[in-house]
Structure 1
Amino acid sequence: MCLDSDLADIFGAPDTQLIALTGGGGKTSLALRLAQQACQQGLSVLVSTTTKMYHPKPDQFDAIAIHSDPDTLWQQLRPIPGKSAFVACSYDAKTNKVSGFAPSIFDQAKFEQKFDLILIEADGAKRLPIKAPSGHEPCIPLSSDTVFQLMGADALMAPLGPELVHRWPRFAEITGAQLGQTLSTAHLQRLLNHPEGGFKAAPKSARKIWVVNKVDEINGDLDTWAHSVIAGADLIDECWLTSTLTANFIVKRILKTRLNRM
């Protein structure tokens, strides 16, 4: 169980906190758990996307609103302490997916300081556990306070290739990985350190958190393994080991002081 279960350091600031979630599988689940945690602390929460994601279930948010005009949405939604709202631009019934807004819309929402917390799914991964971003990805708001980069621990259990890795050719180019290899510490460090890799487009001043989800599916010392990865990953401020489908979803937080932040 995470000792800092209230996550006050993540969304306890007096001004609106904007969090962007990027990377592999687990972004929606993590956004939901963070929203629930924030609501339990009495915060008003806005959740949306800058790409596409599956339409949420009715019981996952206190309000769901879809409209192409964000100004209309802001007029419809009244932030309520302890309540969450999900917004999107459009809905495709064939795919059951919603499309979001440009990152600048959420920069403006942060500037207006209406909601206490804004959670944005800013990347897609086709439900694969790990990825490298393509040229247009990710779509992170410039004013993001925290950027989460996710991977699923199941990426450690299968040979590398397009069945496991979203944007496999780009991933191989960045990490030097070969088809059929097992994901290594060196591969991950290259992905996390590369300017076009895991934290691509993350604001320099943002807290950068690497999240390894589905740790309940792995037997072994993931704590030691994660420490070895982040020891050579210069951009990371901390690592979370999570299991978003369990009650205590943050299994471990590994803090790391980042030097020479400007």
Structure 2
Amino acid sequence: MELAKCLELNRHEIVSIVGSGGKTSLLNYLAQYYRQEYTVMTTTTKIFLPRTIDYDRAILTNNKSFILDKGITLLGAPLPRVNKLAQPVLPVLKKAFKQADKVFIEADGAKMRPLKGWRTTEPVIIPETTTTVGVIPLSVCGQSICEQTVHRLPEFLALGDFKYHQLITPVVLARVISQSGGLFQHSQGRKILFLNQAECAALQSDYEVLAALSTRFLRQLALVISGSIKTQQGMIIWRNEQLQKQS
């Protein structure tokens, strides 16, 4: 199935993307998929400035006198001397929320590492978020816990009493995903777990992660998706039928 369809987004959504190992790629992919709608790309942290071909117009000031048009609008505050954008001021964001069909927000940072630990102030998820997508790369399984694989190593180690140079397994990933200070800390709206880089992972590692998640935690999620941003394909490997009935 096409990856974007797996997310089952509604007509109007404010999507905060958190985690590691594919956040920016997912942000760009989803914006492109919904390019025919009123679509916004932005951040609540810092992101590298996208290529000009990846958006149709940019609003890079705090001037609130704008009207969105169809296509992708890039929203952000340029940072001096670096090729990055920071969060626009809240009044600009809130105006965009009212006009857009889809808003995709990179709400976390991992310094290009496949995994990370979170400070108490992270991720930066705004209350208006309707869906939080947590991204974890399956391809990191088999590597070891160290500075090269983990951003904020002390915080990561504290998540599960992990040890330096411990082997990363599906069980380790499940612990990072489900801990109260882990992947979905501060999340809002529907919670979707996206196990990325399935094409690079060992056979069945996605289902091993799923099996290691407690029933109590799974009740908090709407969907678990296994797939690949690279191939733009995915499949729903777990669905919260109880949430479906309630909605």
TM-score, normalised to structure 2, is 0.87
1:241 aligns with 2:237: no
Indicate how the Cα distance of structure 1 residues 133 and 31 shifts in structure 2: closer, same or farther if over 3 A, else same.
same
Tell me how far 1:180 sits from its aligned partner.
Answer: 1.2
Of residues 204, 210, 215, the one that matches 1:221 is 204
Q: 1:166 to 1:105 in 2, by over 3 A?
A: farther
Counterpart among 71, 83, 95 of residue 64 in structure 2 = 71
Counterpart check, 1:35 vs 2:16: no
Give the whole-Å Cα distance in 2 for the aligned partners of 1:160 and 1:221: 21
75, 87, 100: which one aligns with 2:75: 87
Unaligned regions of 5+ residues in structure 2, if any? none
- Shift, 1:244, TM fit: 1.4
In the alignment, the residues of structure 2 paired with residue 229 and residue 43 of structure 1 have an alpha-carbon distance, to the nearest angstrom, of 38
Q: Deviations over 1:93-112 (max 9, x none)?
A: 4x3111123567535532x2
**1:255 CA drift (Å):** 3.0
Cross-structure match for 1:120: 105
Query: How far apart are residue 149 of structure 1 and its match?
Result: 1.0
CA distance in 2, matches of 1:103, 1:151: 28
Matched residue of 1:92: which SS? coil
Q: Paired residue for 1:50?
A: 44
Give yes or no for the alignment of 1:142 onto 2:127: yes
Deviations along 1:171-228, whole A, 9 cap, x unmatched? 111122111112234433332222221111112xx11111122222223223422431
* Aligned residue number for residue 88 of structure 2: 101
Are 2:243 and 1:250 equivalent residues in the alignment?
Answer: no
Gaps of 5+ in 1: none
Runs (4 or more) in structure 1 with deviation over 6 Å come to none
Task: From the superposition, tell whether residues 224 and 119 of structure 1 become closer, same or farther in structure 2 (CA, over 3 Å).
Answer: same
CA distance, structure 2, for counterparts of residue 98 and residue 70 of structure 1: 16
2:4·2:30 contact (CA, 8 Å) conserved in 1? no
Alpha carbons of structure 1 residues 57 and 27: separation in structure 2 relative to 1, 3 Å: same
Question: 1:35 deviation in Å?
Answer: 1.2
**Segment of structure 1 superposing worse, 190-199 or 133-142:** 190-199
Q: TM-score, normalised by structure 1?
A: 0.82
- State the alpha-carbon separation in 1 of the partners of residues 40 and 32 from structure 2: 11
Q: Which amino acid aligns with 1:180?
A: H
Residue 123 of structure 1 aligns to a residue in which SS?
A: coil
Change (3 A) 1:105 1:65: closer
Write the distance in 1 (CA, Å) between the matches of 2:213 and 2:28: 26
- Give, in angstroms, the shift of residue 64 of structure 1: 2.3
Question: What is the distance in 1 between the residues matched to 2:173 and 2:33?
Answer: 29
One-letter amino acid of the counterpart of residue 193, structure 2: W
**Equivalence for 1:22:** 18
Amino acid in the other structure paired with 2:46: K
Counterpart position of 2:8: 9
Sequence identity percentage: 21
Contact 2:19/2:135, CA 8 A, preserved across alignment: yes
Cα RMSD, aligned residues only: 2.5
Q: Secondary structure at the match of 2:50?
A: coil
Q: Measure, in 1, the Cα distance between the counterparts of 2:224 and 2:171.
A: 16
- The number of aligned residues is 243
Report the alpha carbon displacement of residue 238 of structure 1 after superposing the two structures with TM.
1.6
Does residue 187 of structure 1 match 2:187?
A: no
Structure 1 residues 7, 150: closer, same or farther in 2, change over 3 A? Answer: closer
Q: Which amino acid aligns with 1:79?
A: D
SS at match of 1:183: coil
